[in-house]
Chain A
């Protein structure tokens, strides 16, 4: 946590710089996936789905791994800003997910829109949990992060 008198994290230049750098890499990575698998009208938005599920898994894996290694300070916090907030935050997207659904509805594919939106949410949550599990935080049951 920040000491009294220091600037809050989100206004510290190094923190912001790390997030910017991660975003600089994350957005074009997502764009590249969308070029490799363009979404066509009436079809399942594969590119958005893939980046969101993969990103959710990787963020769960990252944050749980960092937590196991120690407190949210120093190089761990910097990695969280660069890869978590920056890269994965930019790699994944909620706005595109929403507009994918909106455009499907507009093209009279409402069932697909609803299925896609709910599947993204559900499978994304599973992916996050899988990331946590791989990091070893979950052993059988959910571990309360406040008790450790």
Chain B
């Protein structure tokens, strides 16, 4: 189990690195991290919902959820990028990206749960 979590976590981290890099070619920090965290929350919402409402095995939640989604999304990078924006006096962007990520990830997770509960 822990090996599954480790491998899935590694893949999640790698996916985050590539996706963020691709977004950074076109946009500045922190919007890559925002997109990653929101998409990861949506995916986790679907996975948790599949386990809770559709009888999917709990191993799915552990490996794909805890492993991949947990590895894919990141709280530490988001927090650092917010502080960095504030240091650069970009307070509007700091506020928007931090509160926005919080609101959008919760909304995305809720959407995932709702989609799998019908």
Given that A89-B74, A117-B102 are known contacts, is A60 also in contact with B9, CB under 8 Å in the complex? no
Interchain residue pairs with CB less than 8 A apart (14): A20-B13, A20-B14, A30-B9, A85-B13, A90-B10, A94-B37, A95-B72, A97-B75, A102-B106, A106-B113, A124-B75, A128-B83, A144-B88, A145-B87
Partner of B73, one of A31, A59, A94, A125: A94
B: interface residue count bin: 35 or more
> Would you give the shortest CB distance from B90 to chain A, in whole angstroms?
11
For residue B8, which residues in chain A have a CB less than 8 angstroms away from its CB? 27
A98 at the B interface (CB under 8 A): yes
Residue among A55, A120, A121, A129 with max Cβ neighbours from chain B (10 Å)? A121
Query: Chain B interface secondary structure, helix, strand, loop or mixed?
Result: helix
B11 at the A interface (CB under 8 A): yes
For residue B83, which residues in chain A have a CB less than 8 angstroms away from its CB? 60, 125, 128-129, 132
- Bound complex: CA of A77 vs CA of B76, how far in Å? 17
Query: Chain A interface secondary structure, helix, strand, loop or mixed?
Result: helix
Residue contact B12 to A23, C-beta cutoff 8 Å: yes
> Would you give the shortest CB distance from B104 to chain A, in whole angstroms?
9
Residue among A23, A24, A30, A52 with max Cβ neighbours from chain B (10 Å)? A23
A37 at the B interface (CB under 8 A): no
Partner of B79, one of A23, A34, A59, A84: A59
Interface string of B51-77 (1 = CB under 8 A from A): 000000000001001110111111111
> Would you give the shortest CB distance from A120 to chain B, in whole angstroms?
7
- Bound complex: CA of A68 vs CA of B79, how far in Å? 20
> Would you give the shortest CB distance from A36 to chain B, in whole angstroms?
13
Chain A residue at minimal CB-CB distance from B67: A27
Chain B residue at minimal CB-CB distance from A22: B13
Given that A30-B70, A89-B13, A90-B70 are known contacts, is A128 also in contact with B44, CB under 8 Å in the complex? no
- Bound complex: CA of A95 vs CA of B74, how far in Å? 8
A11 at the B interface (CB under 8 A): yes
A interface residues with partner B (beta carbon < 8 Å): 8-11, 15-16, 19-28, 30-32, 34, 52, 55-56, 58-60, 63, 81, 84-86, 88-99, 101-103, 105-106, 117-118, 120-121, 124-125, 127-129, 132, 142-146
> Would you give the shortest CB distance from B81 to chain A, in whole angstroms?
9
Residue among A22, A52, A89, A96 with max Cβ neighbours from chain B (10 Å)? A89
For residue B48, which residues in chain A have a CB less than 8 angstroms away from its CB? 99, 103
